[in-house]
Structure 1
Amino acid sequence: MTSKKSTAAWRSLAAVAAAGLALSGCTNSGDDGTSGASGTGNDEQVVKESENAGPGCTLEKYGAEKLDLKDAVVGFSQSEPDTAAFRAAETESIKAAAQEAGVKKLITTNANAELPKQIADIQDMLNQGAQFLIVAPVNSDGLDPALAAAKKARVPVLTIDRKVTNEPCSDYVAFLGSDFYDQGQRAADELAAATDGEAQVAILLGSSGNNVTDERNAGFIDRVEEKYPDLQVIAEQTANFARDEGQSVTEQLLQSNPEITAIYAHNDEMALGAVTAVRAAGKDPGQDIKIVSIDGTRNAVQAIVDGDINAVIESNPRFGPLAFQTAADFFAGEEIPEDVIIEDDSYTSENAEQDLGKAF
């Protein structure tokens, strides 16, 4: 655990970052999953203490030198296409925060969900003179060549959204993101509430090879086994965080398991695909088959208002202000926790309509 001084410093960091989030808030502009810069978004991103909060990483431990971000070239490696609302909001947040921080130059790349391309992208940004890197990893494993190249160049790396299995404060500075295990637990609680604790559940899994999928599933399964014996998981299948796969996989699952009465989707895109599949099967989404997901996209929150989805656990993608504040503190010589974990909200039928503007 961190010291009282360190904890206070990070609460202060969270407050500073929250104030900046209004500048980078994005709302989803339509069913195509694109995102725009209109709207304030959810500007209350609060850092909570993590089990891996200390002893933390410093410039000296990492082997880096002080850097004024206003004189710096910063690279951002996005993992997946910005056609997904989460990724679009994340990218726009990084761009807006970089502009607000006054960085000399921001280089952005997109790996299009291809690990070899992300490795090449990072190496190319280093060749272009990047002095600090923000990376949203494609997978938790496999970035070793890119991280090794950054380490050799003495360029610090901050990972966001997905955590890598490499060594903190050696291969990367810190991870900034959500508590995905907790998200899974909260999703189980919401599904239990929607079904009165009794359902035949199908799970739409995210892509394999990353901690988000693993932890969202483990949190859900553990909570069900602990508290909800009548929530029976009867099917699990990967739909790769994609709406079209969420639809096709749900269609298959409903055909092979017509007794399904609830669906837990690891993200909103798959849940929205499931809504279409449930309706095509002649059933009423949100009623005949309860649906709970994770993210907080505008389309999914609107689906709660419309009665098609029962609850959404937020996973806030607006990391920009917090990422650049973390970088500024690191380069100023402050100690950075291994995991910078944010607190996420949730959307239900009770607050979805009034909080729709917070969605992305």
Structure 2
Amino acid sequence: MLKKTTAALTTALLVTTLGACAKAADDTASTTAGASAQQRVQATASGTALCTSETYNGGVPKLDLKTITVGFAQSEKEANPFRITETQSIKDEAAKRGIKLITTNAQSDLNKEIADIQGMIAQGAKALIISPLNSEGLDPALKAAQDAKVPIMTIDRLLTTKTACTDYIGWIGSDFVKQGARAADAMITATGDKGEVAILLGASGVNVTVDRTKGFKDQLAAKNSGLKIVAEQTADFTREKGRSVTEQLISANPGISAIYAENDEMALGAVAALKAAGKKAGDIKIVTIDGTKGAVQGIIDGWVAAVIESNPRFGPLAFQALDDFYSGKGVPATTIISDKEYTSDNAQAELANAY
């Protein structure tokens, strides 16, 4: 049995260098969005056994992906470009590989995601890819999958209290702590390392929010930054709340000169709030994380200072993981992808690779 995988362990594993796994991922990457837009593996977990169908949860049937149905559980409403691109990437890769796929969308409702997963198992799905809404709370769905011997590959958000190769095969995602640290560096550059910062926090109960906040604050402390965090409030990763929360924050804290948004939707909501308040582009520096076309265009237009990418194109890597799982090659507990950065220097040239 593999040791429990946590967000802290994930960060520690980043020093591991990839060999054959990176090549396999690159070889199978879809080119529909351009080679530079695809995910690339940065590191995988070391020191633990790779998960296969023989070792997963006491052993599950060895299957051929082309002869079974695979289910994909999307967690959030697809008004967010990240979720739209994520789902489309899964669909495109399934079609490319000739795999029968069924998909669901939990519409940002944890109970619905549980029901969706249970429903796909009832429909005959023999393997699942899930994008968890929360880092905890999916226990009934995980148990249903275990009882039916249906393996689960997780992407994006980490099941922080569950065990790889028992509750799920493995996890593919970004180093969210590092994303926060890179955002802090970008903010220091954008502001000249002075001023008052407000943080638009993501959704509660997910490792993404915790890690991006920690990475940002820890990096400011490590750099002995002159920036001062004067406010932080949850805006749930949505544009609507990003706008309303920003309106409140700049009203209560008129000295705010910078905003760290933990995703692009909140950042674009902040831009709308600043425009409504009569601010001009660049008056308040915004650094955000994702890599949507709207945010990258915001750099070109002067409203956004920098965007740290969080690449949602999981399809090729997720299906390669399932293939490795059944073939006996095995899947690491943790696979960290490499994310780039958008700035005023490359935004125009890279706009086509944003999502």
- TM-score using structure 2 length: 0.92
Q: Does 1:338 align with 2:333?
A: yes
What is aligned with 1:13? 24
What is aligned with 2:103? 108
Question: What is the Cα deviation at residue 51 of structure 1?
Answer: 5.0
What is aligned with 1:118? 113
Q: Does the residue aligned with 1:125 lie in a helix, a strand or coil?
A: helix
Q: Does the residue aligned with 1:232 lie in a helix, a strand or coil?
A: strand
Paired residues of 2:179 and 2:289 also in contact (CA < 8 A): yes
What is aligned with 1:290? 285
What is aligned with 2:342? 347
Q: Does 1:77 align with 2:73?
A: yes
What is aligned with 1:157? 152
What is aligned with 2:315? 320
**Matches of 1:241 and 1:118 in 2, distance apart?**
18
In structure 1, the gaps of 5 or more residues are 26-39
Matches within 5 A, 1:128-207: 128-165=123-160, 166-207=162-203
Relative to 1, partners in 2 of residues 1:324 and 1:209: Cα closer, same or farther, differing over 3 Å? same
Q: Give the aligned residue type for 2:87.
A: T
Q: Does the residue aligned with 2:173 lie in a helix, a strand or coil?
A: strand
Q: Does the residue aligned with 2:108 lie in a helix, a strand or coil?
A: coil
Question: What is the Cα deviation at residue 74 of structure 1?
Answer: 0.4
Q: Does the residue aligned with 2:349 lie in a helix, a strand or coil?
A: coil
CA deviation string 1:247-266 (max 9, x = no partner): 00000000000010000000
Q: Does 1:258 align with 2:254?
A: yes
Q: Does 1:299 align with 2:294?
A: yes
CA deviation string 1:1-44 (max 9, x = no partner): 99xxx9422122221233x2x23x3xxxxxxxxxxxxxx37434
> What is the aligned counterpart of 1:238 among 211, 234, 245?
234
Paired residues of 2:310 and 2:339 also in contact (CA < 8 A): yes
**Matches of 2:300 and 2:224 in 1, distance apart?**
26
> What is the aligned counterpart of 2:50 among 52, 56, 62?
56
Question: What is the Cα deviation at residue 60 of structure 1?
Answer: 1.7
**Matches of 1:336 and 1:14 in 2, distance apart?**
12
Relative to 1, partners in 2 of residues 1:16 and 1:229: Cα closer, same or farther, differing over 3 Å? same
Q: Give the aligned residue type for 2:248.
A: Q
CA deviation string 1:189-214 (max 9, x = no partner): 00000001112000000000001111
Question: What is the Cα deviation at residue 59 of structure 1?
Answer: 1.9
**Matches of 1:77 and 1:46 in 2, distance apart?**
23
Paired residues of 2:170 and 2:332 also in contact (CA < 8 A): yes
**Matches of 1:99 and 1:89 in 2, distance apart?**
15
In structure 2, the gaps of 5 or more residues are 1-11
**Matches of 1:171 and 1:322 in 2, distance apart?**
19
Paired residues of 1:271 and 1:293 also in contact (CA < 8 A): yes
Paired residues of 2:299 and 2:305 also in contact (CA < 8 A): yes
> What is the aligned counterpart of 2:270 among 270, 274, 279?
274
What is aligned with 1:43? 37
Q: Does the residue aligned with 1:123 lie in a helix, a strand or coil?
A: helix
Paired residues of 2:18 and 2:44 also in contact (CA < 8 A): no
Relative to 1, partners in 2 of residues 1:53 and 1:94: Cα closer, same or farther, differing over 3 Å? farther
What is aligned with 2:205? 209
- TM-score using structure 1 length: 0.91
Paired residues of 1:151 and 1:171 also in contact (CA < 8 A): yes
**Matches of 1:7 and 1:275 in 2, distance apart?**
39
Paired residues of 1:53 and 1:338 also in contact (CA < 8 A): no
Paired residues of 1:53 and 1:337 also in contact (CA < 8 A): no
Paired residues of 1:235 and 1:253 also in contact (CA < 8 A): yes
Q: Give the aligned residue type for 2:306.
A: A
Question: What is the Cα deviation at residue 347 of structure 1?
Answer: 0.2
Q: Does the residue aligned with 1:356 lie in a helix, a strand or coil?
A: helix
Q: Give the aligned residue type for 2:21.
A: W
What is aligned with 2:351? 356
Paired residues of 2:257 and 2:283 also in contact (CA < 8 A): yes
**Matches of 2:35 and 2:267 in 1, distance apart?**
21
Q: Does the residue aligned with 2:28 lie in a helix, a strand or coil?
A: helix
Paired residues of 2:241 and 2:269 also in contact (CA < 8 A): yes
Q: How many residues get paired?
A: 339
RMSD, matched Cα: 1.7
